[in-house]
């Protein structure tokens, strides 16, 4: 499954915060108006700056989205003098939201962070989003955005675990788990055109061959790749262009204790949620008898990431009028797949018939499963469940949507 790098979801999170619906946490609604009002109280932001953050010319502008998420995170430092009780409650909620959003984004744009710090930060986001989604579901975050971000984290954790099994002395860069390499390939293709980056189909075929050759040389001899002048992460504008040269943190996979880092992130999430008097009780929720996890937060077999509801975090200008961004129920039926319109789409009925893991599956404590030959590694407890067989995987996918669960490549 080809998926965006984690940083790409910053735009989705940013668009969500700019909507009228926003996020619902408890009895507080955090939307574009709430955020604008609080941002204007920041001495570091002018009215023009706030307007640019809340109404960018390009809603898919990653740097602008990161600036907005960071600005929301910085609101926790504002004094509360003169705030009404309602504004104080909004500020507390914004503080918690800021912690959650920065925990996700910072893991992908902080080049001095170690892999352990990245895992801890992603764990913080995963647990906070899980707890808040369980309470408010789509009112808190669109089903698709929740599923996408949690799947991204799942993919990162499992990639680290697999690399520990294969060769723990190697480095792993989380942004390599997305489609950044594909974007770089397209960049090389367009670069070959000089002042004419466009191309015909025949030119594309020729340039793709040359681009692959260039990537192969740089992969074999990374010291020959000087990197891009515009990719140096010295300002937010360049946070969307990271490479191995610019990342200075320790990314050797054997230096990561997944279980400890995941637990540390869970503790950080618990402390942050306590500011809103929210006690998620992760130990109880992740009891093996409940059969729920990050990708199935409500109940077993119900995946928020596969939903027919419109995703309000999408750029609606890219959708056809009246389109939700997803295939209609008629299209899904003609494809041999029937979808209802409940908040989350249930997996097929036969998915409830549990198939015992095959010999190549490793059952971890509390029922978490990792599909890989060999012994289990130090994976977090009760993190993400994976289908045990190919049939199970096929039953949870549809023609137009990517498979929720991806086995190791």
Give the span between the Cα atoms of 260 and 114, in whole angstroms: 14
Give the span between the Cα atoms of 132 and 130, in whole angstroms: 6
DSSP one-letter code for 221: -
Return the pLDDT at 404: 28
Q: Is residue 347 part of a domain?
A: no
3-class SS at 222? helix
**Residue labelled with tokens 């295939």:** 327
Residues 87 and 181 both lie in one domain: no
Element of type H or E holding 23: strand 23-25
Phi, psi angles (nearest 5°) of residue 171: -90, 155
**Residue labelled with tokens 């050759």:** 213
Q: Is residue 46 part of a domain?
A: yes
Domain end call among 57, 74, 109: 109
Residues 92 and 186 both lie in one domain: no
Q: Is residue 290 part of a domain?
A: no
Contact 302, 343 (CB under 8 A): no
Cβ atoms < 10 Å from Cβ of 305: 23
Under 8 Å CB-to-CB from 5, ≥6 apart: which residues? 108, 152, 174, 175, 177, 178, 179, 180
Q: Give the orientation angle of helix 258-274 with respect to helix 115-136, to 10 degrees.
A: 50
Q: Is residue 155 part of a domain?
A: no
Return the pLDDT at 85: 93
Beta bridge partners of 74: none
Which domain, by its residues, includes 70?
1-109
Residues 102 and 186 both lie in one domain: no
Q: Taking the CA atoms of 398, 402, 406 and 408 in sequence, report the sign of the dihedral they define.
A: positive
Element of type H or E holding 46: none
Residues 17 and 98 both lie in one domain: yes
Residues 105 and 179 both lie in one domain: no
Return the pLDDT at 340: 37
Q: Taking the CA atoms of 374, 5, 240 and 91 in sequence, report the sign of the dihedral they define.
A: negative
Residues 86 and 190 both lie in one domain: no
Q: Is residue 196 part of a domain?
A: yes
- Name the token pair of 304: 């928020």
Q: Is residue 232 part of a domain?
A: yes
CA-nearest of 136, 148, 155, 58 to 97 is 136
Rg for the chain, CA atoms, rounded: 22
Return the pLDDT at 16: 92
- Name the token pair of 369: 């499963």
Q: How many domains does the chain have?
A: 2
Give the span between the Cα atoms of 363 and 351, in whole angstroms: 19
Residues 1 and 103 both lie in one domain: yes
Under 8 Å CB-to-CB from 8, ≥6 apart: which residues? 62, 178
CA-nearest of 111, 90, 62 to 275 is 90
Beta bridge partners of 269: none
The strand pair at 345-346 and 302-303 is best described as antiparallel
Return the pLDDT at 313: 76
Beta bridge partners of 222: none
Domain end call among 219, 246, 273: 246
Give the span between the Cα atoms of 110 and 105, in whole angstroms: 9
Q: Is residue 313 part of a domain?
A: no
3-class SS at 144? helix
Residues 102 and 187 both lie in one domain: no
Domain end call among 53, 74, 109: 109
Tens place of pLDDT per residue across the chain (409 aa)? 334 556 778 888 999 999 999 999 999 999 999 999 999 999 999 999 999 999 988 777 788 888 999 999 999 999 888 899 999 999 999 999 999 999 999 998 898 999 999 999 999 999 999 999 999 999 999 999 999 999 999 999 999 999 999 999 999 998 778 776 777 788 788 888 777 778 888 888 888 888 888 888 888 887 787 665 444 444 454 455 567 777 889 999 999 999 999 999 999 999 999 999 999 989 888 876 778 889 999 888 888 878 777 777 776 554 444 444 433 433 433 333 333 333 333 333 333 343 333 333 333 334 333 333 333 344 443 344 433 333 333 333 332 223 223 233 3
Residues 89 and 16 both lie in one domain: yes
Residues 102 and 181 both lie in one domain: no
Q: Is residue 297 part of a domain?
A: no
Residues 98 and 197 both lie in one domain: no
DSSP one-letter code for 365: G
Query: What is the torsion angle, in degrees rounded to the nearest 10, for the CA atoms of residue 230, residue 235, residue 240 and residue 242?
Result: 70
């Amino acid at each position: 499954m080809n998926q965006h790098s984690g940083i790409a979801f910053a735009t989705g999170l940013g668009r969500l915060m700019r909507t009228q619906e926003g996020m619902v946490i408890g009895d507080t609604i955090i939307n574009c108006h709430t955020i604008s009002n609080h941002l204007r109280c920041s001495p570091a932001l002018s009215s023009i700056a706030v307007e640019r953050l809340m109404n960018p010319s390009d809603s898919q502008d990653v740097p602008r989205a990161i600036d907005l998420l960071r600005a929301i995170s910085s609101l926790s430092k504002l004094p509360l003098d003169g705030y009404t009780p309602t504004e104080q409650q909004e500020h507390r909620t914004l503080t918690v939201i800021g912690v959650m959003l920065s925990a996700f984004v910072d893991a992908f744009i902080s080049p001095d962070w170690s892999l352990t710090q990245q895992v801890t930060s992603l764990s913080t986001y995963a647990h906070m989003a899980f707890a808040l989604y369980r309470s408010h579901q789509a009112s808190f975050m669109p089903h698709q955005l929740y599923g996408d971000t949690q799947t991204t984290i799942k993919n990162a954790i499992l990639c680290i675990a697999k690399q520990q099994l294969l060769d723990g002395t190697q480095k792993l860069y989380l942004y390599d788990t997305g489609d950044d390499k594909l974007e770089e390939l397209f960049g090389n293709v367009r670069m070959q055109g000089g002042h004419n980056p466009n191309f015909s189909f025949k030119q594309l075929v020729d340039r793709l061959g040359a681009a692959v050759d260039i990537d192969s040389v740089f992969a074999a001899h990374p010291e020959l790749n000087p990197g891009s002048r515009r990719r140096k992460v010295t300002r937010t504008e360049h946070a969307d262009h990271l490479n191995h040269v610019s990342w200075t943190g320790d990314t050797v996979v054997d230096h990561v204790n997944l279980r400890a880092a995941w637990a540390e992130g869970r503790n950080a999430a618990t402390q942050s949620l306590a500011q809103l008097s929210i006690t998620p009780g992760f130990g109880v929720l992740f009891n093996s008898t409940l059969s729920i996890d990050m990708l199935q937060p409500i109940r077993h077999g119900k995946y928020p990431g596969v939903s027919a509801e419109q995703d309000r975090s999408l750029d609606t200008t890219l959708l056809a009028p009246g389109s939700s961004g997803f295939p209609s129920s008629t299209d899904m039926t003609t494809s041999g797949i029937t979808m209802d319109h409940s908040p989350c789409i249930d997996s097929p009925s036969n998915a409830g018939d549990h198939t015992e893991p095959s010999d190549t599956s490793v059952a971890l404590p509390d029922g978490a499963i990792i599909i890989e030959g060999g012994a289990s590694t130090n994976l977090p407890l009760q993190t993400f469940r994976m289908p045990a067989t190919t049939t199970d995987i096929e039953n949870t996918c549809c023609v137009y949507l990517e498979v929720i669960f991806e086995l190791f490549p």
